[in-house]
């Protein structure tokens, strides 16, 4: 089940990854409070396959997939999925300090 609102609409702007984690942890809507960050495959399922999910204001969404890398210091990287309507795409990772959005999902 996908949340109707995303964080970009709800907060009227983008948020970093730590704020995204907090957003879904505190999200209580639709009579549910067990929202979470989606897996990369879940977002790809609605944004990278026809029929495409309706467009939102956000250019891309955070996923639950993270890892650390070293490049002039340790960085937390997060897999993201763009909202661009395309069936062929390259997987992308972004530093967790960047500004993105959340499209929450629940079991």
Per-residue pLDDT reduced to its tens digit, 11-49 = 999 999 999 999 999 999 999 999 999 999 999 999 999
Amino acid 55: pLDDT: 82
Residue 71 has pLDDT above 90, yes or no: no
Terminal Cα-to-Cα distance of the chain (whole angstroms)? 7
Mark 54-81 as b/e (b = at least 16 C-beta within 10 Å).
Answer: eeeebebbbbbbeeeeeeeeeeebbbbb
**Closest alpha carbon to 103 in 50, 51, 57, 69:** 57
Q: Hey, is 38 helix, strand or coil?
A: coil
**Token reading at 37:** 């960050």
Amino acid 23: pLDDT: 98
pTM value > 0.95: no
């Amino acid at each position: 089940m996908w949340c109707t609102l995303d964080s970009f609409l709800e907060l009227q702007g983008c948020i970093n990854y730590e704020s995204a984690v907090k957003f879904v942890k505190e999200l209580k809507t639709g009579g549910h409070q067990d929202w979470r960050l989606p897996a990369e495959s879940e977002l790809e399922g609605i944004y990278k396959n026809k029929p495409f999910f309706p467009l939102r204001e956000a250019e891309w969404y955070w996923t639950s997939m993270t890892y650390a890398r070293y490049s002039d210091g340790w960085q937390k990287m997060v897999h993201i999925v763009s909202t661009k309507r395309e069936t062929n795409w390259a997987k992308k990772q972004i530093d967790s300090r960047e500004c993105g959005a959340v499209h929450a999902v629940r079991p």
